[in-house]
Amino acid sequence: IQYRFPDGFWWGSAASATQTEGAADIDGKGKNIWDHWYEAEPNRFFEGVGPQDTSQFYYKYKEDITLMKEIGHNSFRMSISWSRLIPNGIGEVNPKAVEFYNNVINEFIENGVEPFVGLFHFDMPMELQNIGGWANREVVDAYETYARTCFELFGDRVKKWFTHNEPIVPVEGGYLYDFHYPNEVDFGKAVQVGYHTLLASAKAIKGYRESGQDGKIGIVLNLTPSYPRSQHPADVKASILADAIFNRSFLDPSVKGEFPAELVQILKEEGFMPVIVDGDLDIIKNNTVDILGVNYYQPRRVKAKENMPNPEAPFMPDRYFDNYVMPGRKMNPHRGWEIYEKGIYDILTNLRENYGNIECFISENGMGVEGEEKFRDENGIIQDDYRIEFIQEHLKWVHKAIQEGSSVKGYHLWTFMDNWSWSNAYKNRYGFVSVNLNKDGERTIKKSGQWIKTVSENNGF
């Protein structure tokens, strides 16, 4: 074993409720923004395959958890669907949902797979979106109630909680770049949404600590390390600003309890400071995370702005930098994302040096590939050697960071089983296990699933 990981390392994967459960409109579940958006525009991204046509974890959770165990998972991150548990977002709790999540959590524990539970993975209840979603402060209170309800119902068994998954993504997708509902372009609203999401996270953490439970609570952030085109001061400055906007906006308040000065300065200068109520900043300051989940897919490469945008155009963060395509970069052609394995090490080193070496784990990393069926061999196994290589190359850098003292507790792949994607339904496949949607969701373990089993058994490779 050349790369051995610390004892008790978390080997597993992650998924989210909307992307796996199915059963989108039964047993009392309320609608969320994805149910709504799919109904309104089924062909927008989803190719006529919606949140009701997923891998059906709602019905098949036992089979799936058995498979997780079979490929050596000792942990797995799921999310609770807010609109399943509290159909209107606020008010009545749905007993069928309580029963379902109890069954799932118990099944995980009986199989020796520790459930890490996320409270919000992009799936705003529609009733709350109708009053403005995260832009409306009432939704922060509704979320706090929902979070406290979850701790009360499931906290005796769940010991790792995550307030949000990639909270900047609904900001970018919903209010800047048009890939999440309500697909508006409004920087001022984007800032308010981001601020409220962060405040909601701090309030949930406060609620968790007040519950007196003995687990850990954190947040999962997608970090895109920012690299300047050159060491020219203008490029470096552009990269620092992109980092403040896209990474430190959530990372600094989550871990240090304060917003980055560079970001605050931009918001002040441009007139986009959010509405902050007295006392909020103390709540944020006093309720930082115990643990950080790091989702890493790709770096951000940046250069100084070359052409000033039309001053009449709506304000966008890229007023401060241009994206830069590095010649010779390695790409995942299916997803259009650069593959840069060392980025994962740079993130972990930054957390060690500048964020008090906060306890963390890789909560998502992965490779979406189109048309994997063509790699299925005569025994029916998808030979996804590219995925094994992808994981291995990232793990080598994670290992190096650990050797140098980073406090990294685990590695979770996106995802366990091919699942429904917000941006392309089932086109790009990410799983250790494949799903055949035509054959009642038949599951087969891919070569990478067999491989990860040995990695987990040996605690290394």
Min dist. Cβ of residue 422 to ligand BGP (A): 6
Q: At 65, is the secondary structure helix, strand, or coil?
A: helix
**Beta carbons of 49 and 438 less than 8 angstroms apart:** no
Q: Which is nearer to ligand BGP, 250 or 461 (CB)?
A: 250
Q: How many CB atoms lie within 10 A of CB 45?
A: 16
The interface mask with ligand BGP, positions 264-303, x = CB under 6 A, is -------------------------------x--------
Q: Which is nearer to ligand BGP, 287 or 419 (CB)?
A: 419
Q: Round to whole Å and give the CA distance between 269 and 266.
A: 5
**Beta carbons of 369 and 331 less than 8 angstroms apart:** no
Inter-CA distances, 57 with 31, 53, 136, 140, Å: 18, 11, 32, 29
**Beta carbons of 129 and 33 less than 8 angstroms apart:** yes
Interaction residues for ligand BGP, span 427-456 (CB under 6 A) = 428
Does the footprint of ligand BGP cover residue 83 (CB under 6 A)?
no
The number of C-alpha atoms within 13 Å of 353 and in the hemisphere containing its C-beta is 8
Does the footprint of ligand BGP cover residue 332 (CB under 6 A)?
no
Q: Which residue's CB comes closest to ligand BGP?
A: 421
Residue 14's H or E segment, with its range, is: strand 10-14
Among 21, 35, 64, 166, binds ligand BGP (CB under 6 A): 166
Outline where DSSP puts E strands in 98-190: 114-118, 160-165
DSSP string, 285-333: HH---SEEEEE----EEEE---SPPPTTSPP-GGGG-EE---TT--EET
Q: Which is nearer to ligand BGP, 78 or 240 (CB)?
A: 78
Does the footprint of ligand BGP cover residue 120 (CB under 6 A)?
no
Piece of 36-44, 165-173, 198-206, 319-327 that binds ligand BGP (CB under 6 A):
165-173
The interface mask with ligand BGP, positions 201-240, x = CB under 6 A, is ---------------------x------------------
Q: Which is nearer to ligand BGP, 365 or 406 (CB)?
A: 365
The interface mask with ligand BGP, positions 350-389, x = CB under 6 A, is --------------x---x---------------------
State the number of binding residues for ligand BGP (CB under 6 A). 14
Residue whose entry in the numeric block shows the structure tokens 């930082």: 288
Query: Which residue ranges make up the site for ligand BGP (CB under 6 A)?
Result: 16, 165-166, 169, 222, 295, 335, 364, 368, 414, 421-423, 428
